[in-house]
């Protein structure tokens, strides 16, 4: 399992529909181009903040410019505001003004704190806006849209029409096991690899106890000890599909598993002549087999059924040193060509069933086990020849343990049921896109049932290939079931992403060919798969980018038009008089003009303008201290 290749990442404009038609607008670019955009955004934010602060100073000045007689503690801040000080300058100068007038004016501290507070709030707001602006561009574990010319369904080289299984290449199951082990943990801080492949690192499964789904004879004595694993009702975003809300789909899968009692279903088969074909080798002299009777076989050409066994040679189970042996079988309820007929006690009508069998062979444990699947309480002595002593070990009470599961799926308003036949249209009310998505999800679930993934092995407490193991917890069988489900869901995530990227891309030699989509919906879903990518690309939120540009343009336009142009138009000044007059009079040029005028220097004109001037080019002396 690895990140999607850079060549299959769509660059440019697209919409993340899960975030809405407005907030989901996204532009994907390379990281190098993102650095340029970040620099431009920094400039725009700086401009916007500067212009906004100037407008703030103007509005604050105007709210105070009433013309009411007041003391110097009022007029000096007015002049200060007129100079457009920076927030830090406003805080520093306001503090100095307060310090000067603290013993002269009444409530000097409270009157000086307002501009200081405004400056502090603006600084905080500026910092907050800078932090929020970082969300406009993201480059760590981002969602990317897959765009691959190899998109399509795979024709698996080993597809089995009756079981939905395929023969994956050797590295497929180890990759699933590695990902499931790392990313299907019940913890918040998953490894980094889990955040950089699929749109969601895993499918959360609700775990609960349940009643045994079989007849009482096939249930443990504690009827409430079954384990229920329920995905809940998932939508298309859980699988990475990026479609509009009108094409949304729902899918749920529920498994209820319990340890099966052996009873008289485990027997010794002496005559294997009729079953030699299923062994795949010549029988050894006097070789006998353990047989676990889990179902019957019903061939279409016959009205009679024959018992079906999961077999294990007694010779292998007695002397093998390779740990446990895993075998499994499943039966899909709705398959017309299914020849597996479950036992009457397990023949449910609203679910698929699976049997996962573990042959314990010659595995021994250091301590007794009370887990029902790995029950081991029989004491055996292991002679230690070199040490001239013996070691007490614990052997399995039975040569085999079995877990039976019911598997149900649900979509939209349909009830929980078994998987339908591939290609069956059981949702005629769905749109073409919805039907295509559901088909892809069902096909993935059909190809990788949990019983098939159980063949990848068991967890145990250590290396399952060892012969001598330590003690297991009493709920080890539940951990095994959870692991099988995690493997199955990992496989579903993998196969769905394979459709968009191309099945032959991940494992070129693993498929006979890829069937390119022939329908509009199929082609649409080729460009509708989101995956995770880190470091090479960056996403720009179009709404955030537009918002920053708009704020910058609006504040700059208002600042230039109002403070630099409109304010000096006669009609504008008459409408806002007399406050605008105070703004002009508090300007440094008018204050300088008054100082020269008080010294009797110059004959001044433009007394109502921002910048006054003398009538002639008169020589003015420096103002005295």
Q: Environment class of residue 381 by beta-carbon count within 10 Å: exposed (0-12), middle (13-18) or buried (19+)?
A: exposed
Higher-confidence residue of 176 and 575: namely: 176
Q: What is the mean pLDDT of residues 477-504?
A: 90
Q: For residues 54 and 200, state if they share a domain.
A: no
Q: What is the mean pLDDT of residues 118-131?
A: 88
Rounded to the nearest 5°, which phi and psi values hold at 136? -65, -35
Higher-confidence residue of 202 and 287: namely: 202
Please give the radius of gyration of the chain, using alpha carbons only, rounded to the nearest integer: 39
Q: For residues 540 and 525, state if they share a domain.
A: no
Least confident of 24-33, 117-126, 362-371, 549-558: 362-371
How high is the pLDDT of residue 67? 82
Q: For residues 473 and 600, state if they share a domain.
A: no
Residue 200 DSSP class: S
582 is a domain residue = no
Q: What is the mean pLDDT of residues 599-605?
A: 88
d(CA 526, CA 8): 11
Q: For residues 249 and 105, state if they share a domain.
A: no
Least confident of 15-19, 60-64, 337-341, 348-352: 337-341
Neighbours of 275 (CB within 10 A): 14
* pTM summary value: 0.79
Residue position matching structure tokens 């009609």: 571
Residue position matching structure tokens 């927030």: 87
Q: What is the mean pLDDT of residues 496-525?
A: 82
In three-state secondary structure terms, 299 is: coil
Least confident of 109-113, 507-511, 529-533, 599-603: 507-511
Confidence of residue 34 (pLDDT cuts 50, 70, 90): very high
145 is a domain residue = no
d(CA 90, CA 109): 15
283 is a domain residue = yes
215 is a domain residue = yes
Nearest in space to 240 (alpha carbons), one of 4, 408, 452:
4
Q: For residues 36 and 125, state if they share a domain.
A: yes
How high is the pLDDT of residue 149? 92
The two tokens of residue 185 are 């943990």
Confidence of residue 24 (pLDDT cuts 50, 70, 90): very high
Q: For residue 50, what are the domain limits?
A: 1-139+535-577
Domain closes at, from 468, 502, 533: 533
147 is a domain residue = no
Q: For residues 513 and 555, state if they share a domain.
A: no
Residue position matching structure tokens 């806006």: 129
Q: What is the mean pLDDT of residues 12-27?
A: 93
Report the C-alpha dihedral over residues 423, 427, 432, 437, rounded to 10 degrees: -70
In three-state secondary structure terms, 393 is: strand
The two tokens of residue 606 are 């433009």
| pLDDT at 60 exceeding the cut of 50 | yes
Q: For residues 31 and 94, state if they share a domain.
A: yes
Q: For residues 367 and 378, state if they share a domain.
A: yes
614 is a domain residue = yes
280-308 pLDDT, tens digit each: 556 666 566 677 777 776 655 555 555 66
Q: For residues 560 and 615, state if they share a domain.
A: no
d(CA 213, CA 405): 8
The answer to whether the beta carbons of residues 79 and 586 sit under 8 Å apart is: yes
Helices (H), 390-447: 432-447
Q: For residues 617 and 488, state if they share a domain.
A: no
State the DSSP string of 90-133.
HHHHHHHHHHHHTTTSTTHHHHHHHHHHHHHHHHHHHHHHHHHH
The CA distances from residue 466 to 126, 248, 325, 462, in Å, are: 62, 48, 12, 8
148 is a domain residue = no
| pLDDT at 577 exceeding the cut of 80 | no
Q: For residues 528 and 540, state if they share a domain.
A: no
Contacts of 181 (CB under 8 A, 6+ apart): none
435 is a domain residue = yes
How high is the pLDDT of residue 272? 59
Share of the chain above pLDDT 90, in %: 30
d(CA 538, CA 137): 7
In three-state secondary structure terms, 9 is: strand
Of the ranges 116-125, 294-303, 396-405, which is most confident?
A: 116-125
| pLDDT at 242 exceeding the cut of 90 | yes
Q: For residues 67 and 185, state if they share a domain.
A: no
Confidence of residue 277 (pLDDT cuts 50, 70, 90): very low
Q: How many domains does the chain have?
A: 3
Residue 198 DSSP class: B
The answer to whether the beta carbons of residues 394 and 376 sit under 8 Å apart is: yes
| pLDDT at 354 exceeding the cut of 70 | yes
| pLDDT at 572 exceeding the cut of 90 | no
- Work out the mean pLDDT of the chain and round it to a whole number: 82
Q: Is the dihedral of CA 58, 63, 68, 69 positive or negative?
A: negative
Share of the chain above pLDDT 70, in %: 80
251-272 pLDDT, tens digit each: 999 999 999 888 887 777 766 5
Higher-confidence residue of 577 and 582: namely: 582
Strands 364-365 and 468-469: parallel
| pLDDT at 601 exceeding the cut of 60 | yes
Report the interhelical angle of 542-558 vs 31-64 (nearest 10°): 40
| pLDDT at 157 exceeding the cut of 50 | no
Apex 496 CA angle, 491 and 502, nearest 5: 110
Helices (H), 507-610: 520-526, 542-558, 564, 570-576, 579-585, 588-598
Domain closes at, from 469, 504, 533: 533
């Amino acid at each position: 399992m690895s990140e999607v290749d850079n060549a299959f990442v769509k660059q440019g404009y697209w919409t993340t529909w899960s975030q809405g038609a407005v907030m989901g607008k996204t532009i994907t670019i390379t990281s190098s181009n993102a650095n340029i955009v970040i620099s431009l955004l920094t400039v725009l934010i700086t401009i916007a903040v500067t212009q906004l602060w100037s407008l703030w100073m103007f509005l604050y000045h105007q709210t105070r410019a009433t013309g009411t007689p007041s003391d110097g503690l009022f007029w000096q801040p007015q002049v200060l505001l007129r100079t457009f000080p920076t927030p830090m300058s406003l805080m520093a100068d306001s503090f100095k003004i307060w310090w000067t007038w603290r013993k002269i004016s009444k409530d000097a501290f409270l009157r000086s704190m307002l501009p200081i507070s405004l400056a502090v709030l603006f600084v905080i707001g500026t910092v907050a806006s800078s932090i929020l602006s970082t969300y406009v561009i993201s480059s760590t574990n981002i969602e990317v849209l897959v765009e691959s010319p190899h998109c399509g369904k795979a024709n698996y080289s080993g597809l089995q029409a009756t079981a939905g299984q395929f023969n994956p290449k050797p590295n497929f199951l180890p990759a699933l096991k590695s990902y499931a082990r790392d990313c299907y943990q019940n913890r918040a801080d998953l490894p980094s690899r889990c955040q950089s492949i699929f749109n969601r690192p895993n499918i959360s499964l609700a775990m609960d106890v349940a009643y045994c789904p079989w007849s009482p004879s096939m249930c443990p004595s504690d009827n409430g000890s079954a384990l229920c694993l329920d995905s809940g009702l998932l939508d298309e975003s859980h699988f990475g599909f990026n479609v509009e809300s009108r094409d949304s789909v729902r899918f749920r899968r529920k498994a209820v598993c319990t340890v099966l009692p052996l009873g008289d279903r485990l027997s010794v088969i002496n005559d294997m002549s009729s079953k030699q074909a299923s062994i795949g080798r010549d029988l050894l002299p006097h070789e006998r087999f353990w047989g676990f009777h889990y179902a019957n076989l019903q061939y279409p050409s016959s009205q009679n059924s024959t018992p079906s066994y999961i077999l294990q040679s007694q010779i292998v189970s007695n002397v093998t040193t390779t740990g446990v042996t895993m075998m499994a079988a499943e039966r899909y309820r709705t398959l017309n060509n299914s020849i597996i007929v479950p036992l009457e006690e397990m023949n449910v009508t609203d679910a698929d069933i699976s049997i996962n069998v573990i042959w314990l062979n010659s595995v021994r444990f250091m301590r007794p086990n009370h887990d029902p699947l790995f029950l081991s309480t029989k004491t055996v002595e292991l002679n230690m020849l070199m040490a001239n002593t013996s070691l007490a070990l614990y052997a399995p009470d039975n040569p085999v343990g079995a877990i039976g599961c019911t598997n149900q799926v649900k979509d939209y308003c349909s009830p929980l049921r078994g998987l339908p036949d591939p290609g069956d249209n059981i949702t005629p009310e769905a749109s073409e896109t919805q039907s295509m998505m559901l088909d892809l999800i069902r096909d993935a679930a059909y190809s990788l049932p949990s019983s098939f993934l159980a063949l990848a092995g068991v967890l145990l407490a250590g290396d399952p290939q060892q012969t001598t193991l330590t003690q297991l917890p009493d709920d080890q069988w539940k951990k095994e079931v959870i692991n099988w489900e995690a493997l199955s869901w990992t496989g579903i995530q993998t196969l769905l992403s394979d459709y968009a990227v191309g099945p032959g891309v991940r494992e070129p030699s693993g498929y006979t060919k890829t069937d390119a989509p022939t329908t509009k919906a199929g082609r649409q879903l080729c460009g509708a798969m989101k995956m995770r990518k880190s470091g090479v690309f960056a996403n720009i939120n179009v709404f955030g980018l537009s918002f920053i540009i708009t704020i910058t343009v609006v504040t700059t336009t208002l600042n230039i038009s109002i403070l630099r142009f409109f304010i000096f138009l006669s009609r504008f000044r008459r409408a806002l008089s007399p406050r605008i007059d105070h703004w002009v009079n508090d300007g440094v040029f008018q204050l300088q003009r008054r100082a020269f005028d008080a010294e009797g220097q110059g004959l001044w004109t433009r007394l109502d303008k921002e910048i006054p001037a003398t009538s002639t080019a008169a020589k003015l002396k420096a103002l005295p201290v």
